[in-house]
Chain A
Amino acid sequence: MKRVYVDERWCLGCHLCEYYCAFANSGKSSMIKALKDRHIVPRIRIEERNNISFAVSCRHCTDPLCVKSCISGALSVENGAVLIDSDKCVGCCSCIMACPYGALSHSESGVIQKCELCKKNEFGVPQCVQGCPNKAIVYEER
């Protein structure tokens, strides 16, 4: 399955992946409408320190601990992608407890959000990858 892979050698710490992510999942027609004067809560997040930076988002594990820990059945694996049904999620945070990458977080509305590879939004392919100026984030089979 195609997954999002990150190579810190090429990460510039520009944070554009976060903005493209927040826009892609906003449902708005333009990034300006979606993000202007907003604090963004993206599903991919940059870690940076001492001139090293890299993006972290869901790895779509083949053996996902988050899914196994979910008490509400909100998390599931569909064709290899770990998806979340935010309607079912009760915000118990068991997934946050379980994920070794720290890839799940609270959304603006309080329920849990995670990278769904832009499968559920209008774009269909990960926008963090599209927006990365240096191919530090790629979407491919490995």
Chain B
Amino acid sequence: MAIDFLYPLYEVVRDPQRCICCRACERQCANEVHHYDVDFGCMMSDESKCVACHRCVSLCPTRALKIVKTDHTFKENENWTGKTISEVYRQAGTGGVLLSSMGNPEPYPIYWDKLLINASQVTNPSIDPLREPMETFTTLGAKPQAIERDENGDLVDNMPPQLTLNVPVMFSAMSYGSISYNAHASLARAATALGTYYNTGEGGLHQDFYAYGEHTIVQVASGRFGVHADYLNAGAAVEIKMGQGAKPGIGGHLPGIKVGEDISRTRMIPEGTDAISPAPHHDIYSIEDLRQLVYSIKEATHYKKPVIVKIAAVHNVAAIASGIARSGADIIAIDGFRGGTGAAPTRIRDNVGIPIELALAAVDQRLREEGIRDRVSVVIGGSVRSSSDLVKAIALGADAVYIGTAALLALGCHLCRSCQTGKCNWGIATQRPDLVRRLNPDIGEKRLVNLITSWDHELKEMMGGMGINSIEALRGNRLMLRGVGLTQKELDILGVKHAGE
């Protein structure tokens, strides 16, 4: 119907001089944008189906393709933008909730980009990480509150269970279901190779990946999918997911169509049924309830595994974190409002939650003020994009970071934000066997290892520049940061001085 017509957002530009009609674009596009026209003897495209994932562009052997943003426009209006108008049309046509995926793309402030890092000059020496010791190893978990000795006066090992990270970066929770088997295999293998951790998300742990258990964080979420005693004990830590940065306050929904045989077995639900994670945990309505679950898990894992509680960054995050620290959790994970998702209602993704930088600073400050900072480690996620974001996060008080989107980019994701369609051309957010195959874990693992290795090099360079040679010494060291273009209120919350001060 004409009233439903929406002009495609992107246009496929094909250089007919360069196109050799090899049809790789046609074969590689799960959205069926390209086809070979026998009568015309050339390739044609239907850009209305294009999601700008660049699969065709990347594989075209003669560089005959590019994707451009259309210049088709509505009459200009700063208030009623073309995007806003189109969304109204779509909802008027369908009556449905708008769905999106990956992180919030809207132009909110990015505080990482308003923070600058210090370096040593004259009065204190910088450190050359290639010549001098430099440690990016760190451990996560509650630290002993006091030194204990036995009757002979010997030290008692009262160290609670810890996660040991060779590099302060972990792969954040992405379920088998939201991402593919090969994506999980890549993450599991890379985490093992790097000496860090990946996270199962709420999808359970595929039996093939039990072998990577020492580098796995197993998640328990509101749907409790795939949770059983062996699962809890298979990982190095257990994470209770209370919330997710991309969609605070709501649950999740894996459509039945994605619940094939393997996923059904892993999640312990019937094949083809929708996997619905409720918005709340129905047994958790208070910090006390949370404490019960934390200790249930500790019991089930014989007090050998640290328990992580993951929340979305929301308005009262500092107070909530304080409660979590007191619930017995060993690690608090906070997910900012730019965190990714395989599918979320657009309005929630783009309007709910707060920036992770502010949440982190507030939580770290509050826990310190209450004298309980060393009872928990703090891990943050929600759009850590680079090693400089990582340095800033640690300086603001994080013990380590979770990366999701950056890891997926390493695996080939082009941030087309169409995960919810299940037709990921890069073999990541899909369960279609022909598409899953496109991600060879040999390549995936290598690229993840490359990414984190390069970040680690950069992290060491930046730490060395500051004259700092351990994560310990950088953590919460806000003197190493200065703000630019920030209000006094923002600076106060971040706990940093303005540049020049």
Interface-facing stretch out of B19-27, B102-110, B159-167, B191-199: B19-27
Q: How far is the CA of A23 from the CA of B20 in the complex (A)?
A: 11
Task: Enumerate chain A residues within 8 angstroms of B20, measured Cβ to Cβ.
Answer: 19, 31-32, 35-38
- Nearest-CB residue, chain A, relative to B27: A14
Residues 3-23 of A, flagged 1 when their CB comes within 8 A of B and 0 if not, give 000000111111110011001
Which residues of A20-52 are within 8 A (CB) of B? 20, 23, 30-32, 35-38, 51
User: Provided the pairs A20-B61, A31-B62, A32-B62 are in contact, do residues A12 and B22 lie with their beta carbons within 8 angstroms?
Assistant: no
- Contact check, B440 vs A135: say whether CB atoms are below 8 A apart: yes
Q: How far is the CA of A52 from the CA of B440 in the complex (A)?
A: 15
Task: Enumerate chain A residues within 8 angstroms of B23, measured Cβ to Cβ.
Answer: 15
Whether B18 is near chain A, meaning CB under 8 Å from some CB there, is yes
Q: How far is the CA of A12 from the CA of B433 in the complex (A)?
A: 11
Whether A136 is near chain B, meaning CB under 8 Å from some CB there, is yes
Whether A72 is near chain B, meaning CB under 8 Å from some CB there, is no
Whether B59 is near chain A, meaning CB under 8 Å from some CB there, is yes
- Contact check, B24 vs A14: say whether CB atoms are below 8 A apart: yes
- Nearest-CB residue, chain B, relative to A35: B20
Interface residues on A, range: 20 to 34
Task: Enumerate chain A residues within 8 angstroms of B17, measured Cβ to Cβ.
Answer: 32
- Contact check, B18 vs A16: say whether CB atoms are below 8 A apart: no
Whether B443 is near chain A, meaning CB under 8 Å from some CB there, is yes
- Nearest-CB residue, chain B, relative to A18: B22
Task: Enumerate chain B residues within 8 angstroms of A14, measured Cβ to Cβ.
Answer: 24, 27-28, 59
- Contact check, B442 vs A16: say whether CB atoms are below 8 A apart: no
Whether A131 is near chain B, meaning CB under 8 Å from some CB there, is yes
User: Provided the pairs A19-B22, A32-B20, A36-B20 are in contact, do residues A12 and B438 lie with their beta carbons within 8 angstroms?
Assistant: yes
Q: How far is the CA of A36 from the CA of B443 in the complex (A)?
A: 31
Most A-side CB within 10 Å, residue of B17, B62, B433, B437: B437
Say what secondary structure dominates the interface of chain B. loop
User: Provided the pairs A20-B61, A134-B443 are in contact, do residues A32 and B18 lie with their beta carbons within 8 angstroms?
Assistant: yes
Task: Enumerate chain B residues within 8 angstroms of A10, measured Cβ to Cβ.
Answer: 437, 440
- Nearest-CB residue, chain A, relative to B19: A36
User: Provided the pairs A16-B61, A31-B62, A136-B440 are in contact, do residues A51 and B433 lie with their beta carbons within 8 angstroms?
Assistant: yes
- Contact check, B440 vs A19: say whether CB atoms are below 8 A apart: no
Residues 436-455 of B, flagged 1 when their CB comes within 8 A of A and 0 if not, give 01111011000000000000
- Contact check, B27 vs A15: say whether CB atoms are below 8 A apart: yes
Q: How far is the CA of A20 from the CA of B61 in the complex (A)?
A: 8
Whether B434 is near chain A, meaning CB under 8 Å from some CB there, is yes
- Nearest-CB residue, chain A, relative to B442: A135
Task: Enumerate chain A residues within 8 angstroms of B62, measured Cβ to Cβ.
Answer: 30-32
- Contact check, B437 vs A9: say whether CB atoms are below 8 A apart: yes
Say what secondary structure dominates the interface of chain A. loop
- Contact check, B28 vs A12: say whether CB atoms are below 8 A apart: yes
- Contact check, B28 vs A135: say whether CB atoms are below 8 A apart: no
Which residues of B260-304 are within 8 A (CB) of A? none
Task: Enumerate chain B residues within 8 angstroms of A124, measured Cβ to Cβ.
Answer: none
User: Provided the pairs A36-B20, A134-B443 are in contact, do residues A12 and B437 lie with their beta carbons within 8 angstroms?
Assistant: yes
Report A35 CB to chain B, min CB distance, Å: 4
Q: How far is the CA of A30 from the CA of B61 in the complex (A)?
A: 10
Q: How far is the CA of A10 from the CA of B442 in the complex (A)?
A: 10
Task: Enumerate chain B residues within 8 angstroms of A36, measured Cβ to Cβ.
Answer: 19-20
User: Provided the pairs A31-B62, A32-B18, A51-B433 are in contact, do residues A16 and B24 lie with their beta carbons within 8 angstroms?
Assistant: yes
Residues 139-167 of B, flagged 1 when their CB comes within 8 A of A and 0 if not, give 00000000000000000000000000000
Task: Enumerate chain B residues within 8 angstroms of A110, measured Cβ to Cβ.
Answer: none
Q: How far is the CA of A12 from the CA of B25 in the complex (A)?
A: 12
Which residues of A87-142 are within 8 A (CB) of B? 131, 133-136
Report A89 CB to chain B, min CB distance, Å: 28
Which residues of B368-409 are within 8 A (CB) of A? none
Q: How far is the CA of A107 from the CA of B116 in the complex (A)?
A: 63
Report A55 CB to chain B, min CB distance, Å: 14
User: Provided the pairs A31-B20, A36-B20 are in contact, do residues A16 and B433 lie with their beta carbons within 8 angstroms?
Assistant: no
- Nearest-CB residue, chain A, relative to B24: A14
- Nearest-CB residue, chain B, relative to A8: B437
Q: How far is the CA of A135 from the CA of B440 in the complex (A)?
A: 7
Q: How far is the CA of A6 from the CA of B446 in the complex (A)?
A: 19
Q: How far is the CA of A30 from the CA of B59 in the complex (A)?
A: 16
Task: Enumerate chain A residues within 8 angstroms of B28, measured Cβ to Cβ.
Answer: 12, 14
Report A15 CB to chain B, min CB distance, Å: 7
Q: How far is the CA of A38 from the CA of B21 in the complex (A)?
A: 9
* Pairs A-B, 8 closest by C-beta atoms: A10-B440, A35-B20, A19-B22, A134-B440, A14-B24, A36-B20, A135-B440, A32-B62
Interface residues of chain A, those whose CB is within 8 Å of chain B, are: 9-16, 19-20, 23, 30-32, 35-38, 51, 131, 133-136
